Amino acid sequence: MFDSLSDKLDKALHVLKGHGQITEVNVAETLKEVRRALVDADVNFKIAKDFTNTVKEKALGQDVLKSLKPSQLMVKIVKDELTDLMGGDAEGINLSGQPSIILMSGLQGSGKTTFSGKLANFLKNKKTKKPLLVACDVYRPAAIDQLHVVGDQIGVEVYSNKEEKNPVKIAEAAIAHAKANGFNVVIIDTAGRLAVDEQMMNEISDIHQAIEPQETLFVVDAMTGQDAVNTAKAFNDRLNFDGVILTKLDGDTRGGAAISIKSVVNKPIKFIGTGEKMEAIDVFYPNRMADRILG
């Protein structure tokens, strides 16, 4: 994960160790390299610049140049800042509803259906949760079938109605079904499009308003880099969602989305997807991710 970014940051920060004396000049050079590594990883230029400026201020504030181990202190400052940029503490999902309603949003192909299954499986394994999956894509019958395949695979019931063409009605009927049958979590998978369009946004907003979910999650493919961040912004402007799910982090992704999304939409990344299998789900811990990136 993020191999190229890790290599570049490693090189940038270890330059400091090669110098007999650490000076303001080589700290500045290091930070320039750090910034370049972030931009190469598809982090927006302004975010990368703000990041290195903050690191610089902290380094000055902590008198790095006079410290016993300047390079170690610099690495620590960069790591702490990276953790902060990605969200600080891990944030769980709100499961306080009776039942708790979780609405999935995102573009087609982002991994919504797969993640809906992973989350249902993750919660089911907690024993106290009995999830119901709901298929609300009224355009693609194949999407409904796909959710049924996923549900069968993990042993979770799937609510669908291929005759009904109004997703709000399907969602409402599913919640009534959950209440009547002892399900305490309802995970609603919705229709996505290949790109942001008004009709999709209106539809997801209507569902959102009608069912008032405890959690609205935005699912995004990490491989799409800065597009992921722009799409997140478009969905957040309409839905004011609660958290981000970053999928396909097992692929050859450069890391930009993971690093910048929080600072753009001010919403935490809550889970990551690391493969196609139902078990390939992890809670997102910014500090652990920063550790991985900085090696």
Q: Which residues are annotated as a binding site for GTP?
A: 106-113, 189-193, 247-250
Q: Is the dihedral of CA 221, 47, 216, 277 positive or negative?
A: positive
Q: Which stretch binds ligand GDP (CB under 6 A): 102-110, 163-171, 237-245, 262-270?
A: 102-110
Q: Is 275 in the site for ligand GDP (CB under 6 A)?
A: yes
Those residues whose C-beta lies under 8 Å from the C-beta of residue 26, and which sit 6 or more positions away, are 15, 16, 19
CB 284 within 8 A of CB 246: yes
**88 is a site residue for ligand GDP (CB under 6 A):** no
- Tell me whether residue 31 or residue 150 sits nearer to ligand GDP (CB atom): 150
The reply on whether position 190 binds ligand GDP by CB under 6 A is no
* Burial class of residue 63, CB neighbours in 10 A (0-12, 13-18, 19+): exposed
CB of 106 or CB of 256, closer to ligand GDP: 106
Integer Cα distance of 93 and 243 in angstroms: 8
276 binds ligand GDP (CB under 6 A): yes
Confirm if 253 and 223 have CB atoms less than 8 A apart. yes
Residue 100 touches ligand GDP, criterion: CB under 6 A:
no
Identify the helix (H) or strand (E) that includes residue 146. helix 141-154
Taking CB under 6 A as the rule, does residue 106 contact ligand GDP?
yes
- Residue 286 in the binding site for ligand GDP (CB under 6 A): no
Residue of 265, 272, 270 whose CA lies nearest to 222: 272
Which position among 6, 109, 173, 210 is part of the footprint of ligand GDP (CB under 6 A)? 109
Residue nearest to ligand GDP (CB): 273
Binding to ligand GDP by residue 248, rule CB under 6 A?
yes
Residue from 8, 35, 56, 112 in contact with ligand GDP (CB under 6 A): 112
Give me 148's structure tokens: 């049924």
263 lies in the site for ligand GDP, by CB under 6 A: no
Nearest-approach distance from CB 146 to ligand GDP, in angstroms = 6
Among residues 86, 87, 84, 20, which one has the least CA distance to residue 58? 84
Which is nearer to ligand GDP, 97 or 109 (by Cβ)?
109
